[in-house]
Amino acid sequence: MLYPYLTVYGGVTNPAMGRALIAAFIAGFILLVPSLVLLLRLFLFNARYVKGELS
């Protein structure tokens, strides 16, 4: 049904948009990694904190 309207050229993104998407991905990754490290250190690798023994 949509086959005549879908082309390879239509699926290619604008170069400026591609750079913006890559920059947003990198910025999100930079924010995500430290937060995951903090969560893992607190709740996975620190059993005393999870039990409530560490203030």
Instruction: Look at residue 51 and tell me if it is in a domain.
Output: yes
Looking at residue 36, its pLDDT comes to: 93
Question: Cα(22)–Cα(9) distance, rounded to whole angstroms?
Answer: 20
Question: What total of structural domains would you count in the chain?
Answer: 1
Instruction: Look at residue 48 and tell me if it is in a domain.
Output: yes
Looking at residue 1, its pLDDT comes to: 61
Burial class (CB in 10 A: 0-12, 13-18, 19+), 38: exposed
Digit-by-digit pLDDT tens for the chain (55 residues) are 667 777 777 777 888 998 999 999 999 999 999 999 988 887 787 777 767 776 5
Q: With contact defined as beta carbons under 8 Å apart, do 37 and 29 qualify?
A: no
Instruction: Look at residue 54 and tell me if it is in a domain.
Output: yes
What is the domain range of residue 33? 29-55
Q: Is the whole model's pTM more than 0.75, yes or no?
A: no
Cα–chain-centroid distance for residue 54? 31
Instruction: Look at residue 19 and tell me if it is in a domain.
Output: no
Instruction: Look at residue 41 and tell me if it is in a domain.
Output: yes
